[in-house]
Amino acid sequence: MILRRLFWVPLAVIIACSSGSSNVGSDLERRVDELVAQMTLDEKVAQMSGDSGVFLPEGDTLWNVPGVERLGVPPFKMADGPRGLGPIQGATTFPVGMARGASWEPGIENRVGAAMGRELRAAGGNILLAPTINMLRHPSWGRSQETYGEDVHLLSRMAVAFVQGVQENALANPKHYAANSIEDTRFEVDVTIDERTLREIYLKQFRAAVLEGQAASVMSAYNSVNGQFCGENEHLIRDILKGDWGFDGFVLSDWIFGTQSTLGSALNGLDIEMPIARFYGEPLLMAVQDGDVPEPLIDDAVRRMVRKKLQYGLDQPSGLDESVIGSDEHLAIAREAAVEGSVLLKNASNALPLDAGAGQRIAVVGLLADTPNTGDDGSSDTMPAFVVTPLQGIEEAVGEAVVVDHIAKDVLDSDDLVAIGAADAVVVVTGLTAEDEGEGLIGAGDRLDLDLSPERETLIRDAAAANPRTIVVLEGGGAITMGDWLPEVEALLMVWYPGQMGGYAIADLLFGVANPSGKLPITFPTGLDQLPPFDNVLLDVTYDYFHGYRYVDRNGATPEFPFGFGLSYTTFSIDNLQASQSTAVAGDVVRFNVDVTNTGSAAGAEVVQLYATYPGSAVERSERDLKGFVKVMLEPGESQTVEISLPVNDLAYYDVAESAWALEALEHAIHVGTSSRDLPLSTTLSVAAQAPVSVY
């Protein structure tokens, strides 16, 4: 009763403001209102929780949240997740999010999202539990592989592209809102985070997914932020998501432990408890009947769901059939994404590309060379019809012309070393697997040691000692520290978990059918000492402003491979940086043009990156921030002028005292180049102060 008195008036106001009042009068809103008005309280509350059970019953593949059949309101049917449809046998397995982040190519990410949305809808589903857009604060996070990287701008661009792709046919569900970057304590950990860091580093990509991508739904995280569980976090859900951002979609909880109360969750804006009613269902019904939860708040939650069902035509047949699931078209997208996201980290003496000419002998070494390795065993796991291993890709690429010796071992004996020594080149396929990293509880959890296992390091060193032309193909979901083996090998190709078509993509890259063009979406440090602390035992942790490249930049450290880095089989020059203006005010979009030339002899793509600096800022800023990028494909000798747009408001910081974004009067240095540590071109941009400004 006390709660009701406290909450009734403000909630009524919030509901009026946040639930589509801006659209009042539109046909959609009228239809939504009409439908909700015809629903009984029981029907409304039933739509606020899943009813499939804690584990999906035998034969069910999709999590169900009831609709109202008599009114033609369809149920929600949900499936994970980030690398393809988990529960659908034969659905396409794409490279993991981290690999796709490494493509720096929102265009292909949009096609990946669209393909997943099509497959889901064809399988009878309508909400894809993806993308994972949590910040990779530290590469020890067990679910590193699911997200797109460590930078908020890159995450935002990829998230928007993916969400828009999915929502051509189904609803997307960016997750986990928010600050979910530790696995082993995820159900209990409380993340203390200051308001500026929260808004600028941990929430901006969600804001982009919701405002620009128009994501229909958001999944709350398990952890707490500043003392309140995310599933009932008033500040995150009520104030920011549904308040400041005006989100008119719905929020669902993460599974089972993601909902922790009836009143707190309902009053603070959690619309759906998943996957079953523990705190919603009967307890929620009683709370409404007792007057502890106002019925208009229930109406608001249901309106949000019905709105999205109608807006995205979930009440209509999709026109898609099962032939799209694992279709050739989707497999081709998976292969292309794997090519685009692979990062060439080292290529001494142009060891790559390999010669597929007659008479060559290649040793393919390592257990992982012929092991399907598509990612962790957690909720993002999939069931592809087949997985092309690196060995299969290589064998099919070379046919009879090249002799391929496969040494399927991680511990080599003297005969193996003789065979390796006799080869023209050695490809060691190694890295991490689901045994090393993954989702907590159902997968391997966090990865505290960033090295490869001693056995795998020895494998690389032994192969390299036997043959100077040793190339390492490295698999894994995040940063791996190189120990002392890196100088021993000639080439290193990071392929992450490259999806079911990964073997073909790897062969395309090794033999130069395709040219590597991925760039690191995360910093590869030399060791843990270059990173902020990672604690997955303590239940109270603090996240500050700096991690990833911002952290190593601030500390003047030299990482093994910097954020944004990646080599190619060709060379590029970039010059002639021109800005459309050198002074700007709030609301301007400044265009930066730069000429990019392919100065080598192979066709290839370069990612031009733009970073901003804040000399003299009154608040603590990053040394430099990624603010724009563009990937351009060029034939040998070809030049193109590329344009990167910078909305000036994107230079604003979050002014906590004013609760608003503010532009400072600063002469920003703008740097352009091909990695965060290779920025040869610079200009300045003077910006006039302005507050508040609106920021995506």
Structure tokens belonging to residue 147: 């997200």
Burial of 406 (0-12, 13-18, 19+ CB in 10 A): middle
Structure tokens belonging to residue 361: 């002998």
> In the block, which residue shows the tokens 């910040």?
135
Beta carbon nearer to ligand BGC, 7 or 255: 255
- The binder of ligand BGC chosen from 145, 379, 389, 570 (CB under 6 A): 379
Beta carbon nearer to ligand BGC, 219 or 672: 219
Distance, CA of 560 to CA of 547 (rounded, Å):
16
Structure tokens belonging to residue 380: 């993002």
Beta carbon nearer to ligand BGC, 159 or 429: 159
- The binder of ligand BGC chosen from 175, 238, 242, 309 (CB under 6 A): 175
Beta carbon nearer to ligand BGC, 229 or 572: 229
- The binder of ligand BGC chosen from 76, 202, 250, 255 (CB under 6 A): 255
Nearest CA among 245, 259, 215 for reference residue 48: 259
CB of 80 to ligand BGC, least distance (A): 5
What DSSP designation does 232 have? G
Beta strand ranges found along 455-509 (DSSP E): 470-475, 491-494
For residue 356, state whether it binds ligand BGC (rule: CB under 6 A): no
List C-alpha distances in Å: 31 to 38, 70, 248, 303. 11, 15, 15, 10
Beta carbon nearer to ligand BGC, 149 or 438: 438
List C-alpha distances in Å: 272 to 196, 307, 322, 346, 358. 29, 15, 29, 48, 61
CB of 85 to ligand BGC, least distance (A): 12
Distance of CA 307 to the CA centre of its chain: 27
CB of 190 to ligand BGC, least distance (A): 17
For residue 390, state whether it binds ligand BGC (rule: CB under 6 A): no
Distance, CA of 352 to CA of 169 (rounded, Å):
41
Residue 667 φ/ψ region, left for φ over 0, alpha for ψ in the -120 to 50 degree band, beta for the rest: beta
Structure tokens belonging to residue 539: 């239940």
Q: Give kind and range of the element (H or E) at residue 154.
A: helix 152-166
Residue whose CB is nearest to ligand BGC in the complex, by number: 379
Q: For ligand BGC, how many residues bind (rule: CB under 6 A)? A: 7
Beta carbon nearer to ligand BGC, 142 or 283: 142
- Of residues 618-657, those binding ligand BGC (CB under 6 A): none
List C-alpha distances in Å: 359 to 425, 599, 670. 12, 31, 51
Q: Give kind and range of the element (H or E) at residue 114.
A: helix 106-122
CB of 53 to ligand BGC, least distance (A): 13
- Interface map 21-60 toward ligand BGC (x if CB under 6 A): ----------------------------------------
CB of 419 to ligand BGC, least distance (A): 44
CB of 129 to ligand BGC, least distance (A): 4
- The binder of ligand BGC chosen from 29, 105, 109, 254 (CB under 6 A): 254
- The binder of ligand BGC chosen from 81, 97, 353, 548 (CB under 6 A): 81
Distance, CA of 526 to CA of 673 (rounded, Å):
23
List C-alpha distances in Å: 99 to 121, 189, 394, 541. 25, 28, 20, 28
Query: Using an 8 Å Cβ cutoff, are 631 and 339 in contact?
Result: no
Distance, CA of 488 to CA of 652 (rounded, Å):
45
Strands 228-229 and 653-655: unpaired
CB of 254 to ligand BGC, least distance (A): 5
CB of 397 to ligand BGC, least distance (A): 36
Beta carbon nearer to ligand BGC, 176 or 671: 176
CB of 285 to ligand BGC, least distance (A): 25
Query: Using an 8 Å Cβ cutoff, are 113 and 119 in contact?
Result: no
Please identify every residue annotated as catalytic. Answer: 254
Beta carbon nearer to ligand BGC, 294 or 478: 478
Beta carbon nearer to ligand BGC, 67 or 87: 87
Distance, CA of 371 to CA of 349 (rounded, Å):
29
- The binder of ligand BGC chosen from 29, 80, 248, 299 (CB under 6 A): 80
Nearest CA among 366, 364, 361, 470 for reference residue 424: 361
Nearest CA among 208, 146, 218 for reference residue 176: 218
CB of 379 to ligand BGC, least distance (A): 3
Distance, CA of 643 to CA of 685 (rounded, Å):
16
For residue 129, state whether it binds ligand BGC (rule: CB under 6 A): yes
Distance, CA of 361 to CA of 423 (rounded, Å):
5
CB of 173 to ligand BGC, least distance (A): 8
- Of residues 258-297, those binding ligand BGC (CB under 6 A): none
3-state secondary structure of 543: strand
452-487 per-residue burial string, b: 16 or more CB within 10 A, e: under 16: beeebbebbbbbbebbebbbbbbbbbbbbbbbebbe
Q: In what order do the strands lie in the sheet with 639-647?
A: 572-579, 589-598, 639-647
Beta carbon nearer to ligand BGC, 55 or 399: 55
Beta carbon nearer to ligand BGC, 82 or 283: 82
320-331 per-residue burial string, b: 16 or more CB within 10 A, e: under 16: beeebbbbeebb
Beta carbon nearer to ligand BGC, 135 or 425: 135
CB of 127 to ligand BGC, least distance (A): 10
Nearest CA among 42, 56, 53, 67 for reference residue 126: 67
The site for ligand BGC (CB under 6 A) is made up of: 80-81, 129, 175, 254-255, 379
